[in-house]
Amino acid sequence: MKKTILFMDNEQDFLDVHSRLLEHAGYQVVRACSLKEAKDRLEERHVHLAILDIRMADEDDEQDISGLLLAQQEDYRPIPKIILTAYPSYEYVRDALGIAADGQPPAVNFLDKDEGPEALLQAVGRVFDQHVLLNWDLDIHWDPREYLSFLHLAGLLQSDLADEVLVYRADELEHLVRRLFGDYRQIRIGRVFWRDRWRFCLPVLAQSPQGATDARILVCGERGQLRRELEQMRELAPRTPEGTTLDNTIETMHFGAATYVLPDADIETVQTLRDLVGEGRERPLKKAFSHLLEEVLAAWHQRGQRVEEEGDLTSLYRGWVGLGSDDLSRTEVERRVKTLTQEVRPLSAVDIEYANGELAFHFPSLAPLICPDPVAFVYAPLKQYCRPVVCKISPGQLTADNVLIDTEQRTWLTDFAHAGQAPQWWDFVCLEAIVRFDLSQAPDLLAWQEFEERLVTPGGLADRLQAQDVVPDLRTSVVLMEQIRRQAGSEAGLDPVPYYVGLLVWAVGAMAHYDPAILYTQAEKMRGAHLLLAAAMLARRLGETLPTALPGGTLRLDEDGTVWIGDHCAGPLVGQELDLLCCLYEQAGRPVSRKTIFESIFGEKYLAGDADQEGRINSLIRRLRVKVEPASSRARYIRTVKKKGYCLVASGEGRNGR
């Protein structure tokens, strides 16, 4: 990595002469003779310093401070800047070197062009010494078992970039590391513990010139996102000295990085929850879960609670699994779950059907397991648990990889991006979901069914789970889930319903992340099948407990085709389904004949008894019911009127049954 400078000046000759001077002095110079060019270069390249002229639009215009305005932009704040002008004034100096709203001056030095090239060289040298502060002598070693490099890490964060730009991003990551470990002689970078769309986390061992070794956890990611994560952490994290401790932070143009200390941990032996489960030893797992539940998470939960007046429990949970109002639409979630059903069908001898608002599993030699549509449950307000909902401070999204454990089974959290107020069951739900869906292994879907049956049976969170009958591979998981539920019960009460709802939403959220366009392995599909089964059984369990949990109220059709059940949006309708509902809606309360329906929707002459026409009407009615009826088992709004046709009952009240 060479010391790189962006030089912006609209006088081409001046730019060329001084760029050559800097190049001769050993710097790499990226030239820009317009504001746009400078912005483009800064967006693409990685530079350590920018030299900016003030009058970039019109050399003769005293009002032109475009270069200064560029220096003041927040986007370029991490880059140290020198203002270089032919028109120095003390007002310009104030604007350049004065502290801006974010607490930083836009520039670190100010020069008059008349001061000459030597002054420029000296100023540049000072900026590298005092502001760039890179440890150019740092030896960087990589774990030989991993195929890591800065280029690889840059690709993890910004995989959609062209190769040449990715090389600059790799330089930027190296810059972060050389700055963060400015006082060390060498570092050794370990394997990636976890990553998501915009961050990665890995361990770093650092050796000082005196030979002392320090261990850090490095989290690196997109600059704005990481800054928000650190703000959340500063505000919300418990002040426990033994917990994950923020050590240092640094930003470049595109990235931010933070180092954490895990007090007293031997980072060389720290492993993820997934690793520990992989070892299959129950006793250390129980001890680690005790520490995580009773020490780490309890400290977060004690940071404060709030009663959430807005939104019901299911909608709050949906926000936590990426099914909020700004995320995937309900229609898309249904489509993905349907696709998943088709994808997992060939995996086992179990036939799975997802239609007419039901999810049916046909196990060989067993009665079919018919459950209500779990997706409908996830989008239904839970009447008894509407509002208010008690929320507590949560570290966010616990996963099998972002919880670290040392050899003494002490645990540390490493991901705070989603820290905030969450329903008080949320962290326990996440932990159970990790154990249940990510870390447990069963030979087939039948074993999962037996396992799930035990998990949805208890009527209280402190109840024992019957572990003795489940396959041996799953016994440890059952023990851990008992442990999680006991703690959830002691903190949030013994009622299992809000807990089960959380698990159901988590499972549907996980299913919604199955992208039909992606090729999945058998193991990943099997996890999908397990999620499908678990979600269906949770929906069945909740349906039995909460017969009135589904949305109620009057059905209303908006002009844009959106259907509302009370204040719950059942989604938009299009095509024939919308035509059918309009047809019924116009005659609400009165039966509409099959003939009228067929001829108005399909525009063909109705022939009574024609099997094809009857099938088309039945199919259309079924499709519409799936969209608007909260429960598949009983049609409340679109009712069959024997020998007459169908009738829309907008209130949804009165006689039930198709």
The amino acid present at 559, given as its one-letter code, is E
State CA 480 to chain mean position distance: 25
Q: Which residues pair with 109 in a beta bridge?
A: 82
369-372 and 403-405 strand pairing: unpaired
Please, what is the minimum distance in Å from the beta carbon of residue 412 to other proteins?
8
Closest CB to other proteins among 393 and 573?
393
Does 192 participate in binding other proteins (rule CB under 8 A)?
Answer: no
Measured CA to CA, the distance from residue 627 to residue 625 in angstroms comes to 5
**Contact residue for other proteins among 155, 224, 238, 388 (CB under 8 A):** 238
Does 62 participate in binding other proteins (rule CB under 8 A)?
Answer: no
Does 226 participate in binding other proteins (rule CB under 8 A)?
Answer: no
Closest CB to other proteins among 13 and 91?
91
Q: Is the peptide bond before 284 cis (omega within 30 degrees of 0)?
A: no
**Contact residue for other proteins among 66, 72, 109, 252 (CB under 8 A):** 109
List, in sequence order, every beta strand (DSSP E) within 108-212: 109-112, 139-142, 186-189, 194-195, 199-207
Rounded to the nearest 10 degrees, how much is the dihedral formed by the CA atoms of 467, 473, 478, 479? 90
Does 93 participate in binding other proteins (rule CB under 8 A)?
Answer: yes
Identify which range of 242-250, 476-484, 501-509, 644-652 contacts other proteins by CB under 8 A. Answer: 242-250
**Contact residue for other proteins among 12, 89, 384, 457 (CB under 8 A):** 89
Does 395 participate in binding other proteins (rule CB under 8 A)?
Answer: yes
Identify which range of 105-113, 131-139, 355-363, 445-453 contacts other proteins by CB under 8 A. Answer: 105-113
Closest CB to other proteins among 234 and 590?
234
Q: Percent helix, strand, coil in the chain (nearest 5)?
A: 45, 20, 35
- Give the three-class secondary structure for 213: strand
Q: Tell me the CA distances in angstroms from 90 to 148, 368, 651, one per residue in order.
A: 49, 83, 74
Does 112 participate in binding other proteins (rule CB under 8 A)?
Answer: yes
Backbone angles phi, psi at 214, to 5 degrees: -120, 150
Please, what is the minimum distance in Å from the beta carbon of residue 27 to other proteins?
22
Site for other proteins in 399-458 (CB under 8 A): 413, 416, 419
Q: Which residues pair with 189 in a beta bridge?
A: 142, 204
Site for other proteins in 286-305 (CB under 8 A): 300
Q: Tell me the CA distances in angstroms from 413 to 201, 245, 262, 400, 410, one per residue in order.
A: 11, 10, 9, 11, 11
Closest CB to other proteins among 405 and 413?
413
**Contact residue for other proteins among 94, 191, 306, 634 (CB under 8 A):** 94
Beta carbons of 354 and 336 less than 8 angstroms apart:
no
DSSP 383: G
Does 245 participate in binding other proteins (rule CB under 8 A)?
Answer: yes
Closest CB to other proteins among 99 and 523?
99
Measured CA to CA, the distance from residue 515 to residue 512 in angstroms comes to 7
- Give the three-class secondary structure for 554: coil
Does 86 participate in binding other proteins (rule CB under 8 A)?
Answer: no
Does 103 participate in binding other proteins (rule CB under 8 A)?
Answer: yes
Please, what is the minimum distance in Å from the beta carbon of residue 200 to other proteins?
18
Does 100 participate in binding other proteins (rule CB under 8 A)?
Answer: no
Task: Spell out the alpha helix ranges (H) of 147-191.
Answer: 150-157, 163-180
**Contact residue for other proteins among 32, 176, 237, 570 (CB under 8 A):** 237
Identify which range of 90-98, 443-451, 587-595, 609-617 contacts other proteins by CB under 8 A. Answer: 90-98
How many chain residues interact with other proteins (CB under 8 A)? 33
Beta carbons of 330 and 379 less than 8 angstroms apart:
yes
Does 99 participate in binding other proteins (rule CB under 8 A)?
Answer: yes
Does 383 participate in binding other proteins (rule CB under 8 A)?
Answer: no
Measured CA to CA, the distance from residue 522 to residue 122 in angstroms comes to 62
Does 246 participate in binding other proteins (rule CB under 8 A)?
Answer: yes
Residues that bind other proteins (CB under 8 A): 88-90, 92-94, 97-99, 103, 105, 109-110, 112, 230, 233-234, 237-246, 260, 300, 395, 413, 416, 419
